[in-house]
């Protein structure tokens, strides 16, 4: 029989379960992951020399990423309880804090996105600004610089996509997050969101074909990563076994399996695989489901992770 | 039942409030004293003593920039040793409670209606005096009774006696400690007293019967309890509920409720038959031991087992454990002793058990308390009261040592032996203090005058004709505390901060009322400081020094027989009455006899209640700090029983008693920590006073469910653990 | 340099919440929040029950996750007594420290910064004990320098069996509950 435990504490956001982060964090994680995916894709495209020809994604993604990232950071800002002091993030670097790393990475990502955008900006930008036109022309001629830009974009994209997972996984107090796999999971999810979006919006058939294949590979990998994630939990500490039960019979079971796994990965993957083999038409529904699934993944994990805890109480049983 | 079902409580209709700001300022000056004249900036401290319960622990109040900050214990205080209990520590909340009474009120319409007029003190006291004179003219001054709790009632008692009434009662006798004091008085010739003369600190074996020290937060006792535990004392706890103390016990006896007397008799049987009692002590100080021992013959552990549910081997083992450590074995007399109607005899049995162990007057048992010699103020004699006291006609309860509150209530209801037409209450919520609130409310209907003096607008105030707001202890002087304790000392209560509205101290209210009654001669002193200084000077003490230190201690006196104190037993025999001829001569059992309690009706549970460390009765639930510590009470129900009934822990339920009274919704605590045949809750919740917004409707009221009570034939105490309830899920 | 810690004697604690009230008034803890609290734990089946009562608060850990995760350094280990403290105007209110504490010791102060028990650093600097330690009527607390072998707390911990909370979480807490 479990011991009876009664605690007099009743702190807002902490009791009965930790709930310090709500919608703002999953939204940022999703947008940040998406931008990370965008940066990896665009970097990959540059390394492949796609910047030398017309590329809807290279023209759109960096600019879009600037907007998405700003929205994400706005969400982060809205989450802060002491907003007037946000500038304190940038008066120091706390090397043990993944959040400090992230705040500086974000600072580097902005100029990186601008530079990336200048490699193959939309024509209207070139029309509007002579400076842009000049820079673009220079870059177009310098494959080596573009290569560097591409690698930088991929590296910063990986950093952006992974650090949030590192942040959450560093919190020992939250057993559901406390696994090295989380960073990989978030990165994969971010790349798949970017690929899905790219597949959705590009009007280049070549890019569409490439992104959907990338997406399928990443989605399939995500299934594997999620499986490994659960296996790691179930073979972990007692706290992690309890944490895993949150999605294996506990209150987060339905959202996880229906929205994250079913509608977010498995079904769109099947649709996209069939579409790639031309058994069915390509449909926008699938990439939309992938993106929604990415948001759902962040949402479920952020909420469930806070609920997971180290059980207090030291008397042990019986 | 009409007036009961249409319960109306204290509310103020905005249209009826008269402007009193000018008089408020003047009235405040009257209460001002040196303690309030502290610096406006910076930190200063003022010593006083606490009033959150009746223990009167010495306190040190901290004021920062003119605002009350916190309260700590006064290190010079022997009661608290510089550490207050959680209620005292949260005392600042009483000052800041914005729901407290702010100005005098007179009811507009029918008693129990919710419409009031805010008036000046002059008007309020004038109205009260007028009514009192009218009662005096028609019925005599004895027709006005005072119900008072706590030190602050001193001056009200003075005014009422000066007016001519002898009918002054404290609920703490007939509703609380009365049976215990009578039981010990019949045995040793002296009461247990308050604070109890228990030498817990030095006890090597401590026996708690129903007493839940740690949840019951009598500060000195809990401190001594912890000290005894730290010293490795052997703890025996007898309780149907696994209390906090039970969690520290060497022996926990989960006794069937109502059978404690059987256990005590069996313990005494073992001590006597096995020769484990203190022979020398008994031989030297005891009277009637042989007759007493003969009476014990049938009370074997085997006899006690089916009654109590405690195995014979455990009874023997614990009796032997007690004997092992005697005379430093203390069987605690408890405090709230009004349980089953045979409580004086049960308490006498506890006294006898202590006598067998030789603990009375000995270290680790009961010490002989001392006090400072501080003379009273010389007043004129009180008028004789030709009608005599009303509460105990014909000495129906021959061993009542104090006035019976419920006796006064009965006289108010019946008009016999003579009518009671006026009630004063000071700091006591009679509707919840007295059992069977329907009787209290019916009695109130017979009154021409009901005056309630309190700090908060509780339920009793809702029935009043006149409500008089008192300043909290942090805002007033009071009479001196000349405590009867381990060592002599005198303590001062003085204002720390001014009252925030038109509240006044008790001494001022009582004195101004006396003036309106033409009784100025009974208040010869001009200021309260004059009164206090007079008494202290007579005792050879300095008022100035007391103001500065808060406590002045006297020379410690011997308190144990071991220190040379002469044993004295003011009983009929002049010795410890193992056999009481006084009882026999009045037709009662000279040695306690056991009465089997009723079993719960099928599907019902015996209702038990007790204390929480963060609340005092029902007077702290509105204190914002203490409210936060415990916002509602819970109903303790055995977890297995709850599971069988399909009631989950934490869901809300209601209780229904045998008379059909249904409680407020209360949170269920399904726990292993209680027997299956009873339920338990902390007293003081389920409040219905609408103006106390924090406490309104929170938790359930055990008092409301206490419609039945058994009156102790020896002394009129009202046994209240005789109600059974069913537990029903909240729809 | 001192390293302050606390010993809490569960044999003596009665769970009266005096420590909670004293902390609240001493530190003006906002309404609705607790810097310290009581945990009542009961095991067994009636009447064979065991009970442990603990007064809990921030453990001022030697390996504090709330310090390592803080992006601004607001949450830091102070030179004074190695206490874990929060510099209010360096805190952005990101709440990572709240999520990082396995003891749920922190909360967001209504003014926006992360708040918790400070071991009453303002009192300790004056040579006083924390408010909870000073008020406890059962004297169940011992507070002092863990690095001083002659301090009361060191001697207490040497003479009695004790356990900290959640030792496997790796935080190396500095509050020990005497058995």
Residues composing chain B: 731
Chain C residues with beta carbon closer than 8 angstroms to that of B80: 137
The confidence score (pLDDT) of residue B24 equals: 38
Please answer yes or no on whether C92 and A82 come within 8 Å at the CB atom. yes
- Residues 110-129 (C) with a CB less than 8 A from some CB of B: none
Q: Determine, for residues B671 and A4 on separate chains, whether the beta-carbon distance falls below 8 Å.
A: yes
Q: Which residues are CB-neighbours of B574 under 8 A, at least 6 positions away?
A: B287
Q: What is the pLDDT of residue B1?
A: 35
Domain that holds residue C77: 4-178
Nearest to B48 by CA among B505, B612, B611: B505
Q: Over range A263-290, report the average pLDDT.
A: 95
d(CA A312, CA A302): 21
Query: Per-residue pLDDT for B23 more than 70?
Result: no
> In terms of C-beta distances under 8 Å and separation of at least 24 residues, what long-range contacts does B538-545 make, across chains too?
B538/B374, B538/B375, B539/B372, B539/B373, B539/B374, B539/B375, B539/B490, B541/B374, B541/B490
Which token pair is B271? Answer: 């001590």
Residue B110 has pLDDT above 90, yes or no: no
pLDDT at residue C163 in the model:
95
Q: Which residues of B touch A4 (CB under 8 A)?
A: 639, 671-673
Strands B329-331, B205-209: pairing is: parallel
Torsion of CA B397, B401, B403, B409, to 10 degrees: -30
Return the minimum-mean-pLDDT range out of A123-132, B433-442, C20-29: A123-132
DSSP A37: H
How far is it, in rounded angstroms, from Cα B677 to Cα B679?
7
Confidence (pLDDT) at A27: 98
Query: Does A88 reach chain C within 8 Å, measured CB to CB?
Result: yes
pLDDT at B146: 98
CA–CA dist A13, A20 (Å, integer)? 5
Structure tokens at B520: 């100025």
ipTM of the complex: 0.97
Flag if A4 and B629 touch (Cβ within 8 Å): no
Instruction: Specify the pLDDT at position A125.
Output: 87
Helix (H) or strand (E) holding C175: strand C175-178
Q: Which chains touch B (3 or more CB pairs under 8 A)?
A: A, C
Chain C residues with CB inside 8 Å of B230's CB? 9, 11-12, 139
Cβ within 8 Å, pair B86-C32: no
Tell me the two tokens of residue B211: 């007493």
Residues B687-715, mean pLDDT to the nearest whole number: 97
Give pLDDT, residue B106. 95
Gap between the Cα atoms of B363 and B224, Å rounded = 13
Which residues of chain C from 59 to 98 reach within 8 Å of chain B, CB to CB? Answer: none
Name every chain A residue with its beta carbon within 8 A of the beta carbon of C44: 1, 318
Which strand ranges, in their side-by-side order, compose the sheet holding B551-553?
A: B481-483, B489-491, B551-553
Gap between the Cα atoms of B300 and A178, Å rounded? 63
* Contact assignment for A4 to B672 by CB distance below 8 Å: yes
Whether B230 sits inside 8 A of C11 (CB atoms) is yes
Residue A16 contacts C where some CB pair is shorter than 8 Å: no
Q: In what order do the strands lie in the sheet with B105-107?
A: B116-118, B105-107, B466-469, B449-454, B422-426, B144-148, B168-169
The H or E element that residue B147 is part of is strand B144-148
Distance of alpha carbon B411 from alpha carbon B430, whole angstroms: 15
Structural tokens at position C35: 């810097």
| Of residues B222, B219, B227, the one with CA closest to residue B201 | B227
**Given an 8 Å threshold on Cβ–Cβ distance, is B248 in contact with C11?**
yes
Confidence at residue A312, expressed as pLDDT on a 0 to 100 scale: 60
Residue C108 in contact with partner chain A when CB distance is under 8 A: yes
Domains of chain B: 204-361 (3.40.228.10), 605-729 (2.40.40.20)
Return the pLDDT at A126.
Answer: 86
Could you tell me whether strands C175-178 and C48-56 are parallel, antiparallel, or unpaired per DSSP bridges? unpaired
What is the enclosing helix (H) or strand (E) of A4? strand A4-7
- Kindly report the nearest CA distance between residue A241 and chain C, in angstroms: 15
pLDDT number for residue B29: 34
A-chain CB neighbours of B613 within 8 Å are none
DSSP one-letter string for chain A? -PPEEEE----TTTSSS-----THHHHHHHHHHHHHHHHHHHHHHHHTTGGGS--HHHHHHHHHHHHHHHHHHHHHHHH-SSGGGGGGGGS---TT-HHHHHHHHHHHHHHHHHHHHHHS--HHHHHH-HHHHHHHHHHHH-HHHHHHHHHHHHHHHHHHHHHHHHHHHT-TT-TTT-STHHHHHHHHHHHHHHHHHHHHH---HHHHHHHHHHHHHHHHHHHHHHHHHHHHHHTS-HHHHHHHHTTTTSTTHHIIIIIIIIIIIIHHHHHHHHHHTTSS---THHHHHHHHHHHHHHHHHHHHHHH-----------
Torsions phi, psi for B329 (to 5 deg): -115, 120
List the beta bridge partners of residue B72: B60
- The predicted structure's pLDDT at residue C90: 98
C-alpha C91/C-alpha A86 separation (Å) is 8
Rounded distance between C-alpha atoms, residue A192 and residue A175, angstroms: 26
Q: Is C43 exposed, middle or buried (0-12, 13-18, 19+ CB in 10 A)?
A: buried
- Whether A4 and chain B come into contact, CB under 8 Å, resolves to yes
Residue A36, pLDDT above cutoff 80: yes
Q: Are A311 and A242 in contact (CB under 8 A)?
A: yes
Residue B359: which of B296, B285, B299, B294 has the closest Cα?
B285
Neighbours of B137 (CB within 10 A): 9
**Distance between C39 CA and the closest CA of chain A, angstroms:** 4
Structure tokens at A194: 């970017």
Assigned token pair, C40: 């009542």
Contact B244 C15 (CB under 8 A): yes
Structure tokens at B490: 């005198």
**Total CB pairs under 8 A between chain B and C:** 122
Q: Is B668 in contact with B651 (CB distance < 8 Å)?
A: yes
- Residues B399-430 have pLDDT tens digits of 999 999 999 999 999 999 999 999 999 999 99
Chains sharing 3 or more CB pairs under 8 A with chain C = A, B
User: Minimal CA–CA distance to B81: which of B73, B91, B89, B92?
Assistant: B73
- Closest of C34, C4, C27 to residue C142, by C-alpha: C4
Q: Do B673 and A4 touch (CB under 8 A)?
A: yes
Candidates A5, A237, A309; nearest CB to C41: A5
CB contact A246 to C (< 8 Å)? no
Mean of pLDDT values over B549-558: 96
Say if residue B556's pLDDT is above 80. yes
Sign of the CA dihedral running B15, B18, B20, B21: positive
Q: Do C47 and B254 touch (CB under 8 A)?
A: yes
pLDDT of residue B115: 83
Do residues C7 and B75 make contact, with C-beta atoms less than 8 angstroms apart?
no
Interface contact B672-A8, CB threshold 8 A: no
Per-residue pLDDT band at A282 (split at 50, 70, 90) = confident
Give the span between the Cα atoms of B724 and B22, in whole angstroms: 53
Provide the sign of the torsion angle of the four alpha carbons B515, B519, B522, B524, taken in this order: positive
Residue among C31, C36, C137 with most chain B CBs within 10 A, to mutate: C137
Do residues A24 and A78 touch, judged by C-beta distance below 8 A?
yes
pLDDT(A307) > 50 = yes
Would you state the pLDDT for residue A3?
A: 87
CATH number at residue C30: 3.30.70.20
Structure tokens at B431: 């509707």
Contact present, B328 and B359 (Cβ < 8 Å): yes
What are the CA-CA distances from residue A58 to residues A205, A266, B257, B403, B706 (Å)?
A: 14, 28, 82, 96, 81
Q: Do C53 and B247 touch (CB under 8 A)?
A: yes
Tokens of B666: 């209360």
| C107·A13 Cβ contact <8 A | yes
- Distance (Å, whole) CA C40 – CA C15: 7
Task: From chain A, pick out residues whose CB is under 8 angstroms from the CB of B639.
Answer: 4
Two tokens at A161? 């996509």
Q: Which of C72, C102, C176 to mutate to test the interface with A (most CBs of A within 10 A)?
A: C72
Q: What residues contact residue B585 under an 8 Å CB cut-off, 6+ apart?
A: none
The residue in chain A having the minimum alpha-carbon distance to the alpha carbon of residue B630 is: A8
**Residue B22's pLDDT is what?**
35
Where are the extended beta strands (E) located within B149-267? 168-169, 205-209, 234-238, 251-253
| pLDDT(B6) > 50 | no
Compute the nearest-CA separation of A245 from chain B (Å): 22
Of the listed ranges A45-49, B126-130, B466-470, C27-31, the one predicted with least confidence = A45-49
pLDDT at A311 over 90: no
Confidence class for position B21, pLDDT limits 50, 70, 90: very low
Question: Stretch A174-203: mean pLDDT, rounded?
Answer: 96
| Average pLDDT over all residues of chain C | 97
- Domain count within chain C: 1
**Considering the entire predicted model, what is its pTM?**
0.94
pLDDT digits (tens, 9 = 90+) for B133-174: 999 999 999 999 999 999 999 999 999 999 999 999 999 999
Taking an 8 Å cut-off on Cβ atoms, the answer to whether C16 and B214 are in contact is yes
d(CA B209, CA B350): 9
Residue B730 banded pLDDT, cuts 50, 70, 90: confident
CB contact under 8 A, C166 and A312: yes
**Neighboring chain C residues of A14 at a CB cutoff of 8 Å:** 98, 104, 106-107
* B677 close contact with C: CB closer than 8 A: no
Q: How many CB pairs under 8 A join A and B?
A: 5
- Give me the pLDDT at residue B108, please: 83
CB atoms within 10 A of CB A126: 18
- A172–C92 CB contact, under 8 Å: no
Give chain B's contact residues with A (Cβ, < 8 Å): 629, 639, 671-673
- Give phi and psi for B144, each to the nearest 5: -110, 125
Mean pLDDT of chain B: 94
Q: What is the H or E stretch that residue A6 is in?
A: strand A4-7
C40/A18 Cβ within 8 A: no
Q: Residue B232: pLDDT above 60?
A: yes
Could you tell me the two tokens for A178?
């406390």
Instruction: Confirm or reject contact between B675 and chain C (CB < 8 A).
Output: yes
Q: Which residues of chain B have a CB within 8 Å of the CB of A8?
A: 629
CA distance A66 to chain B (A): 48
End-to-end CA distance of chain B: 26
Choose among A84, A97, A312: nearest Cβ to C39: A312
3-state helix, strand, coil in chain C (%, to 5): 25, 25, 50
CB of C47 less than 8 A from some CB of B: yes
pLDDT at B76 over 60: yes
Q: Is C54 helix (H, G, I), strand (E, B) or coil?
A: strand
Cβ under 8 Å to A: C residues 49-88 = 50, 52, 56, 65, 67-74
Cβ proximity of B73 and B84 under 8 Å = yes
A80 neighbourhood in chain C, CB within 8 Å: 92-94, 112
B501 Cβ under 8 Å from any chain C Cβ: no
What residues does C75 pair with on adjacent strands? Answer: C86
């Amino acid at each position: 029989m479990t011991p009876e435990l009664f605690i007099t504490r009743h702190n807002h956001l902490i009791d009965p379960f930790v709930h310090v982060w709500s919608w703002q964090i999953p939204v940022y994680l999703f947008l940040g992951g998406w931008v990370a995916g965008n940066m990896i894709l665009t970097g990959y495209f540059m390394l492949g020399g796609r910047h030398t020809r017309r590329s809807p994604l290279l023209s759109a993604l960096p600019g879009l990423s600037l907007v998405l990232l700003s929205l994400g950071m706005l969400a982060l800002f809205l989450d802060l309880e002491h907003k007037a002091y946000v500038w304190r993030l940038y008066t120091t670097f706390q090397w043990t804090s993944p959040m400090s790393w992230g705040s500086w990475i974000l600072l580097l990502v902005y100029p990186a996105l601008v530079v990336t955008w200048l490699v193959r900006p939309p024509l209207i930008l070139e029309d509007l600004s002579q400076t842009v036109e000049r820079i673009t022309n220079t870059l177009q001629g310098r494959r080596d610089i573009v290569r560097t830009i591409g690698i930088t974009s991929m590296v910063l994209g990986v950093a952006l996509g992974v650090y949030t997972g590192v942040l959450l996984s560093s919190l020992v107090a939250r057993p559901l997050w406390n696994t090295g796999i989380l960073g990989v999971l978030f990165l994969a999810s971010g790349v798949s969101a970017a690929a899905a979006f790219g597949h959705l919006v590009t009007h280049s058939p070549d890019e569409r074909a490439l992104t959907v294949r990338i997406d399928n590979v990443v989605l399939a990998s995500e299934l594997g990563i999620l499986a490994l994630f659960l296996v790691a939990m179930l073979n972990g500490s007692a706290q992690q076994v309890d944490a895993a039960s949150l999605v294996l019979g506990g209150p987060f079971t339905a959202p996880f399996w229906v929205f994250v796994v079913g509608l977010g990965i498995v079904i769109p993957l099947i649709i996209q695989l069939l579409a790639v083999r031309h058994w069915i038409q390509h449909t926008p529904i699938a990439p939309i489901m992938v993106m929604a699934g990415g948001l759902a993944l962040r949402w479920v994990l952020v909420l469930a992770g806070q609920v997971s805890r180290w059980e207090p109480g030291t008397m042990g049983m019986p | 039942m009409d007036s009961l079902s249409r319960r109306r409580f204290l509310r103020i209709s905005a249209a009826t409030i008269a402007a009193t700001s000018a008089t408020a300022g003047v009235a405040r000056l009257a209460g001002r004293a040196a303690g309030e004249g502290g610096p406006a900036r910076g930190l200063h401290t003022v010593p006083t003593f606490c009033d959150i319960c009746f223990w009167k622990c010495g306190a040190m109040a901290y004021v920062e920039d003119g605002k009350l900050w916190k309260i700590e214990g006064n290190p010079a205080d022997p009661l608290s040793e510089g550490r207050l209990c959680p209620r005292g520590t949260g005392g600042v909340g009483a000052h800041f409670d914005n729901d407290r009474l702010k100005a005098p009120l007179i009811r507009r319409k029918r008693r129990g209606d919710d419409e009031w007029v805010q008036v000046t003190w002059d008007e309020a006291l004038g109205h009260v005096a007028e009514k009192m004179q009218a009662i005096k003219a028609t019925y005599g001054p004895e027709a006005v009774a005072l119900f008072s709790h706590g030190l602050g009632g001193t001056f009200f008692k003075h005014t009422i006696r000066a007016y001519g009434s002898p009918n002054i009662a404290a609920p703490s006798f007939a509703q609380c400690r009365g049976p215990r004091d009578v039981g010990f008085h019949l045995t040793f010739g002296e009461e247990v007293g308050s604070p109890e003369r228990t030498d817990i600190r030095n006890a090597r074996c401590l026996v708690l019967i129903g007493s839940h020290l740690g949840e019951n937060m009598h500060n000195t006792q809990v401190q001594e309890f912890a000290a005894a535990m730290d010293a490795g004392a052997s703890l025996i706890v007898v309780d149907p509920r696994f209390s906090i103390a039970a969690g520290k016990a060497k022996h926990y006896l989960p006794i069937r409720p109502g059978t404690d007397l059987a256990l005590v008799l069996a313990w005494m049987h073992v001590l006597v038959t096995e020769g484990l009692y203190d022979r020398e002590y008994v031989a030297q100080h005891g009277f009637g031991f042989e007759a007493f021992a003969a009476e014990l013959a049938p009370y074997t552990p085997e006899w006690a087992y089916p009654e109590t549910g405690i195995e014979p081997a455990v009874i023997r083992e614990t009796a032997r454990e007690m004997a092992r450590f005697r005379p430093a074995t203390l069987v605690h007399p408890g405090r709230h002793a009004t349980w089953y109607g045979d409580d004086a005899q049960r308490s006498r049995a506890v006294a006898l058990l202590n006598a067998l162990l030789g603990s009375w007057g000995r270290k680790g048992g009961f010490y002989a308390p001392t006090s400072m010699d501080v003379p009273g103020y010389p007043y004129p004699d009180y008028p004789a009261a030709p009608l005599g006291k009303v509460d105990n006609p014909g000495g129906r309860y021959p061993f009542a040592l104090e006035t019976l509150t419920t006796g006064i209530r009965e006289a108010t209801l019946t008009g016999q032996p003579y009518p009671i037409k006026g009630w004063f209450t000071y700091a006591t919520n009679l509707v919840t203090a007295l059992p069977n609130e329907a009787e209290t409310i019916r009695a109130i209907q017979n009154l021409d005058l009901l005056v309630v003096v309190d700090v908060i607008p509780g339920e009793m105030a809702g029935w009043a004709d006149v409500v008089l707001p008192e300043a909290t202890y942090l805002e007033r002087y009071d009479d001196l505390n000349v405590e009867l304790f381990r060592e002599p000392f005198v303590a001062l209560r003085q204002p720390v901060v001014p009252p925030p509205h038109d509240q006044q101290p008790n001494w001022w209210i009582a004195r101004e009322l006396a003036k309106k009654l033409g009784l100025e001669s009974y208040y010869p002193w001009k200021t309260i400081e004059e009164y206090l200084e007079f008494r202290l000077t007579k005792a050879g003490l300095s008022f100035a020094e007391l103001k500065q230190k808060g406590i002045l201690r006297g020379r410690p006196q011997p308190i144990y027989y071991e220190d040379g104190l002469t044993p004295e037993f003011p009983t009929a025999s002049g010795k410890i009455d193992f056999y009481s001829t006084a009882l026999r001569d009045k037709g009662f059992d000279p040695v306690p006899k056991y009465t089997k309690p009723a079993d719960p009706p099928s599907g019902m549970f015996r209702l038990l209640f007790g204390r929480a460390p963060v609340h005092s009765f029902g007077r702290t639930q509105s204190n914002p700090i203490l409210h936060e510590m415990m916002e509602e009470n819970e109903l303790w129900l055995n977890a297995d029983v709850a599971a069988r009934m399909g009631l989950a822990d934490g869901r809300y339920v209601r209780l229904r008693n045998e008379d059909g009274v249904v409680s407020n919704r209360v949170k269920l605590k399904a726990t292993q920590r209680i027997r299956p045949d009873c339920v338990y809750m902390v007293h003081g919740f389920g409040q219905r006073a609408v103006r106390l917004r924090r406490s309104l409707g929170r938790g359930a009221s055990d008092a409301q469910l206490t419609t039945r009570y058994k009156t102790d034939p020896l002394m009129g105490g009202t046994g209240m653990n005789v109600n059974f309830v069913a537990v029903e899920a909240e729809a | 340099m001192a390293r302050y810690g606390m010993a809490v004697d569960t044999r003596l604690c009665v769970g009266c919440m005096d420590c909670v009230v004293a902390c609240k008034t001493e530190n003006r803890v906002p309404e609705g929040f607790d810097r310290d609290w009581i945990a009542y734990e009961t095991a067994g089946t009636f009447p064979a029950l065991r009970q442990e009562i603990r007064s809990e608060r921030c453990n001022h850990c030697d390996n504090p996750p709330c310090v390592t995760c803080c992006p601004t350094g607001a949450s830091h280990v102070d030179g004074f007594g190695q206490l874990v403290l929060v510099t209010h105007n360096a805190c952005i209110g990101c709440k990572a420290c709240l999520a990082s504490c396995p003891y749920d010791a922190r909360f967001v102060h209504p003014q926006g910064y992360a708040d918790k028990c400070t071991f009453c650093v303002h009192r300790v600097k004056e040579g006083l004990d924390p408010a909870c330690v000073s008020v406890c009527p059962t004297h169940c607390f011992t507070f002092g320098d863990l690095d001083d072998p002659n301090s009361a707390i060191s001697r207490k911990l040497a003479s009695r069996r004790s356990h900290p909370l959640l030792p496997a979480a790796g935080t190396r807490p500095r509050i020990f509950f005497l058995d």
